[in-house]
Structure 1
Amino acid sequence: MSIQLGPIQYGKAETRLVRIVRDTARHEITDLNVSSALRGPFEAAYLDGDQSNVLPTDTQKNSAYVWAKKLNPDPIEAYGLALAHHFVDDVPPVEAARIEIERYGWTRVEIDGRPHDHTFVRTGQEVRTAAITYEPAVTHVVQGFKDLVVLKSTGSHFKDFLVDEYTTLQPTDDRIMATSLTAKWRITDPAADLDWNGMYAGVKAAMLERFAELESYALQQTLWHMGRAALEAYPAIAEIRLVAPNKHHFLVDFSRFDEPNENEVFHADDRPYGLIQASAVREGASPAGDAWYSYTGLV
């Protein structure tokens, strides 16, 4: 029986860096968690412990720092592309690189109604993410976010579902629908002048509008229409994937208190929860390759 070494890659996970732009008295902050992973002819390191082709993971960490200095890492997608190109184009024998980034939000402290130039408070509705996979033949950028908590207090139904002897859930024509949304959308070989920040804001706005306006008969239906909205708004997007844990809100039984509860007081239950996943793919879109594959599990 022959046993062979399978696919391999290695890198540096979760390099925390904060970049302050001090070009003027009004400073800007970009707060990142950066992971890198490299592919290439590294078999000897695994089979024989031969490190001659291995760029140390500590060097990858330092490269993330240096490229944050060379560039303003906003937008994070442009920074990730530049870092990936550095590893592949400048460091033989690296053949492919993947950069995964999380960005944490900050906003300015206001004093007497005016935003302060250099004092910030941690904020943000969600964590913005990016995953860049680069090799000379193709480039994939997966833009997205995680932990975007959204809720609509009406306009959601759940009824006419399959019932068996273990079903206890009651159908409803009016329920709270809430989720902590993760969304990722793939752009293949993006144009150099692509407005990453504009696309991010636009996709998020298109999906939230569809979430709010759609009369929903299932979270599955809602996710499908949100994904369609993103692809309709941005032709550069090849596909989008969404993950939505159902954050359940159960009506509290007020019968024992001799009080009505007309969809006003709910118990928020965090587990167990339904986990709904969906994707929307543009017809004729190029194959994803390794674009969705996570080296580190961060994105």
Structure 2
Amino acid sequence: MTTMLGQNQYGKAENRVVRVTRDGGTHHVKDLNVSVALSGDMDDVHLSGSNANVLPTDTTKNTVFAFAKEYGIDSAEAFGIHLARHFVTSQQPIHRARIRIEEYAWERIPVTDQDRAGHSFVRRGQETRTAEVSYDGEHWQVVSGLAGLVVLNSTDSEFHGFVKDAYTTLQETRDRILATEVNARWRFAWTGGAGQEPPRWEESYTAVRGDLLGAFAETYSLSLQQSLFAMGSRVIDGSAAAGAIDEVRLSLPNKHHFLADLAPFGLKNDNEVYLAADRPYGLIEGTVLRDGAEALIPVTD
């Protein structure tokens, strides 16, 4: 035989579950996209087609919806922990569960009719909250995140002193727009060991989002790489109150803004009018670690 089975997993992807919690006339909405991946003793189903160790993917889908009712959804991370623990501890052939979650936030629409004030919502913000929970029966790994958070500084950014070769046409600048779409993932130090209290997931997300925005706004940037490091460092240095964070991985596409050429119209463009280009774009990626921590968030899936 010239082939062998390598790493594998299976599950149900993109289970869209919306949980409405009714507190009298005031409702609370949690809107999640949940993907389940399970691995373990699955050689036989690949090599012989035997399903003896296979929990159907339809069952994993049903579990997501049943748990939304039974446990509610306090946070994406807590819900993922409930699911991962269940799959690993209830099915002997399953040794590891990975739960990935995207959360879509809603806020109430202000209305004058107070009888309707608690249950009308509008999607909030541009970013999507994410969470990935992995469990192997002993240890947890929780990676929270956000995607699609668009930010812009209209000044306090430069780019100069870079390498130039025969194909370089970009001009140096001492004042530019710096804009990017923040895609961030952060790994908690918490692993579920004895005596470890779980982080305060909701509080932590708010704090990390604020740290990312604060560092972007407050860094006088000579490069987007410099901003990336400042943002990741702010998250790690400021994370202790809501659960220590050991690793932050950032992906920052540079949303280029080029000065528009107004000379043909006899007009001077004093860093006032820009052409916003969506592609091609520079892609700046990097990881910031707490001293002594190991990089565990994968670069790619």
**TM-score grouping bracket, smaller chain normalisation:** over 0.9
Amino acid at match of 2:232: G
Deviation (angstroms), 1:286: 5.2
Shift of 1:113: 9.1
Matching of residues 123-272 of structure 1 within 5 Å? 123-188=124-189, 189=191, 191-235=196-240, 236-272=244-280
Match of 1:276 in 2: 284
1:18 alignment partner, SS class? strand
Does 253-262 or 184-193 show the bigger shift? 184-193
Matches for 1:54-73 after TM superposition, within 5 Å: 54-73=54-73
Question: What one-letter code is carried by the residue in structure 2 that aligns with 1:285?
Answer: A
Give 2:126's aligned amino acid.
Q
- Provide the C-alpha distance between the structure 2 equivalents of 1:286 and 1:212, rounded to a whole number of angstroms: 28
Cα distance in 2 between the residues matched to 1:92 and 1:17: 27
Q: AA paired with 2:28?
A: E
Given that 1:148 and 1:182 are in contact with CA atoms closer than 8 Å, whether structure 2 keeps it comes out as yes
Aligned sequence identity (%):
46
Matches of 2:216 and 2:249 in 1, distance apart?
A: 15
2:84 corresponds in structure 1 to 84
Write 1 or 2 for the structure with the bigger share of strand: 1
SS at match of 1:117: coil
Q: Tell me how far apart the structure 1 counterparts of residues 252 and 113 of structure 2 sit (CA, whole Å).
A: 37
Give the whole-Å Cα distance in 2 for the aligned partners of 1:228 and 1:88.
Answer: 34
Measured in 1, the distance between the counterparts of 2:293 and 2:267 equals: 56
Letter in 2 for 1:170: Q
* C-alpha deviation, 1:193, in angstroms: 4.1
TM-score, normalization by structure 1: 0.94
CA–CA distance in 1 between the matches of 2:268 and 2:294? 56
Shift of 1:112: 2.9
Does residue 1:116 correspond to 2:151, yes or no?
no
Q: Contact 2:289 / 2:295 at 8 angstroms: preserved in 1?
A: no
Give the aligned length: 293
1:213-259: CA deviation from partner (whole Å, max 9, x where unpaired)? 11100000100011011010114111110000000011100000111
CA RMSD of aligned residues (A): 1.7
CA change 1:292–1:65 in 2 (3 A) is farther
Question: 2:56 & 2:276 partners in 1: Cα distance?
Answer: 47
User: In the superposition, relative to structure 1, how do residues 103 and 71 fare at CA in structure 2: closer, same or farther (>3 Å)?
Assistant: same
Q: Give 3-state SS (helix, strand or coil) of 1:112's partner.
A: coil
Letter in 2 for 1:164: D
**Counterparts in 2 of 1:32-47, with a 5 A limit?**
32-47=32-47
- AA of the residue aligned to 1:240: V
CA contact (8 A) 1:104 1:124 kept: no
Which residue number corresponds to residue 292 of structure 1? 298
Q: What SS does the corresponding residue of 2:203 show, helix, strand or coil?
A: helix
In the aligned structure 1, how far is the partner of 2:6 from the partner of 2:227? 39
SS at match of 1:256: helix
**Does structure 1 retain, via aligned residues, the 8 Å contact 2:247–2:295?**
no
Deviation, 1:283, is 2.1
1: distance between equivalents of 2:283 and 2:24?
Answer: 46
Instruction: Tell me if the contact between 1:210 and 1:229 (Cα under 8 Å) persists in the aligned partners.
Output: yes
Check conservation: 1:17, 1:33, Cα contact below 8 A: yes
Q: Which range is displaced more, 27-36 or 105-114?
A: 105-114
Using the TM superposition, give the Cα deviation of residue 192 of structure 1 relative to its aligned residue in structure 2, in angstroms. Answer: 3.8
Deviations 1:23-57 (A, max 9, x none): 32200001110000001101100111100100000
**Does residue 97 of structure 1 match 2:97?**
yes
The Cα of 1:287 is off from its aligned counterpart by 6.2
Runs of 5+ consecutive residues of structure 2 not aligned to the other structure: none
TM-score by length of 2: 0.93
Quote the Cα distance in structure 2 between the aligned partners of 1:113 and 1:150.
Answer: 35
Secondary structure of the residue aligned to 2:13 is: strand
